[in-house]
Amino acid sequence: QYKKVLEENRKLYNQVQDLKGNIRVYCRVRPFLPGQENRFTTVEHVEDRTITISTPSKHSKEGKKSFSFNKVFGPSATQAEVFADMQPLVRSVLDGYNVCIFAYGQTGAGKTFTMSGPNNPTEETYGVNYRALNDLFYLSEERKATISYEVSVQMMEIYNEQVRDLLATDDIRNSSQNGINVPDANRLPVTTTADVIHLMNLGFKNRAVCSTAMNDRSSRSHSCMTVHVQGKDLTSGATLRGCMHLVDLAGSERVDKSEVTGDRLKEAVHINKSLSALGDVIASLATKNTHVPYRNSKLTQLLQDSLGGQAKTLMFVHISPEADAVGETISTLKFAERVASVELGAARANKDSSDVKELKDQISSLKAALTKKD
């Protein structure tokens, strides 16, 4: 009886997730950094799905502007709370789905914090990468009587439209053998969280080698951790494959092209091009366009097989709270809104929200039934 309720609960939960569609947009506001707590903030109000920004008059007459997303996390949200919301998405990899999670936003807005955590993270402050793998290990252990899973990881960096393997010493070529556009980057098996931490450190070290020569290059490149999962059903022998890309994008801040030259200008052009290519791809997937412009950047080419179709995408936008960042904050939120617009469009949202509400009500009554059992 207990098991049946749990199973039913899981099924309904998946249905709620499916109704939400394959493209989701979340927003997270970074807290003020220590010592800056008393500065003016541009964030007026945060609700579950809406964020209101106070704006200088040139952006709106009312002096404020609201944006809606699938989920908004305020400055006090913890890493665990953020992950809890993404957990079903992450878990779907073990059911054979492809998943892409992007951290988007201006430099300093908290992208790396969300994906990896701060420098020297603790159990509490670990980011999505670590939590996701940890959770996959946990779930595959739970299922081991019926399915045997193998998990492996790649780490790559895209800088100026060049892909580099962060788990190897040599530069790698881009190839599309085996149908997946992931280059032949080293793919290392992982079975424990200790393995994951080891690989993450290796990746960071390799990344750092390049950035010392060039001040903070990491914010001007995209980094991607790809998790491959292969599952074998122990009774039928059938196999399934899923993969998940966890992408920490280059800073989205607009660079004043009249003021930069040489390397900086080249970087700015590449970043701008790849971020708008990503926005175009996601927007065209959301509108169900038949032509999806994957070929406009290395980033979208690399992730092509995990963007669109049955794949699930989460664009996680980050904003800084400081009033002097308001220009970038508004352009970040507008980018995100463009990506989200169709999925959250009035017609669909109305239909979805009543269905979702109904399913949510069923879940609450099932939960109530469960607690009574205890």
Return d(Cα 301, Cα 65) in angstroms, integer. 35
Residue 211 binding target from ligand ADP, Mg ion, none, CB below 5 to 8 Å by type: none
Number of residues that bind ligand ADP (CB under 6 A): 14
User: In this structure, which long-range contacts are made by residues 8-12, counting pairs with CB atoms below 8 Å and at least 24 apart in sequence?
Assistant: 8/366, 9/363, 9/366, 9/367, 9/370, 12/359, 12/362, 12/363, 12/366
Residue 257 exposure: Cα atoms within 13 Å on the Cβ side: 8
DSSP-based three-state secondary structure for 1: coil
Instruction: Give the residue with the Cβ less far from ligand ADP, 117 or 308.
Output: 117
Q: How far is the CB of 111 from ligand ADP (least distance, A)?
A: 3
Q: How far is the CB of 332 from ligand ADP (least distance, A)?
A: 11
Instruction: Give the residue with the Cβ less far from ligand ADP, 221 or 226.
Output: 221
Residue 118 binding target from Mg ion, ligand ADP, none, CB below 5 to 8 Å by type: ligand ADP
DSSP-based three-state secondary structure for 233: strand
Return d(Cα 175, Cα 181) in angstroms, integer. 7
Torsion of the alpha carbons at 82, 144, 8 and 5, rounded to the nearest 10: -100
Task: Report whether 151 contacts 217 (CB < 8 A).
Answer: no
Distances (CA, A) of 178 to 181, 182, 325: 8, 9, 44
Residue 109 binding target from ligand ADP, Mg ion, none, CB below 5 to 8 Å by type: ligand ADP
DSSP-based three-state secondary structure for 44: strand
Instruction: Give the residue with the Cβ less far from ligand ADP, 172 or 317.
Output: 317
Q: Is 21 labeled as ligand-binding? A: no
Q: Locate 133 and state its tokens.
A: 């793998």
Residue with tokens 């664009």: 315
Instruction: Give the residue with the Cβ less far from ligand ADP, 80 or 238.
Output: 80
Q: How far is the CB of 117 from ligand ADP (least distance, A)?
A: 8
Q: How far is the CB of 314 from ligand ADP (least distance, A)?
A: 16
Instruction: Give the residue with the Cβ less far from ligand ADP, 108 or 308.
Output: 108
Q: Is 125 labeled as ligand-binding? A: no
Strands 71-73 and 23-29: parallel
With CB under 6 A as the contact rule, the residue among 6, 18, 33, 142 that binds ligand ADP is 33
Return d(Cα 281, Cα 42) in angstroms, integer. 30
Site string for ligand ADP, 90-129 (x = CB under 6 A): ---------------x-xxxxxxx----x-----------
Q: What stretch of H or E contains 93?
A: none
Strands 50-54 and 64-68: antiparallel
Asked if 221 is part of the footprint of ligand ADP (rule: CB under 6 A), the reply reads no
Site string for ligand ADP, 281-320 (x = CB under 6 A): -------------------------------------x--
Question: Which residues have a Cβ under 8 Å from the Cβ of 112 and sit 6 or more positions away?
Answer: 103, 127, 218, 248
Q: Is 262 labeled as ligand-binding? A: no
Q: Is 108 labeled as ligand-binding? A: yes
Binding site for Mg ion (CB under 5 A): 112
Binding segment for ligand ADP (CB under 6 A), chosen from 30-38, 166-174, 235-243, 302-310, is: 30-38
Torsion of the alpha carbons at 8, 9, 15 and 16, rounded to the nearest 10: 160
Q: How far is the CB of 303 from ligand ADP (least distance, A)?
A: 19
Asked if 219 is part of the footprint of ligand ADP (rule: CB under 6 A), the reply reads yes
Binding segment for ligand ADP (CB under 6 A), chosen from 29-37, 228-236, 277-285, 336-344, is: 29-37
Asked if 252 is part of the footprint of ligand ADP (rule: CB under 6 A), the reply reads no
Q: Which residues bind ligand ADP (CB under 6 A)?
A: 30-31, 33, 105, 107-113, 118, 219, 318
Known binding-site positions for ATP:
105-112
Known binding-site positions:
105-112
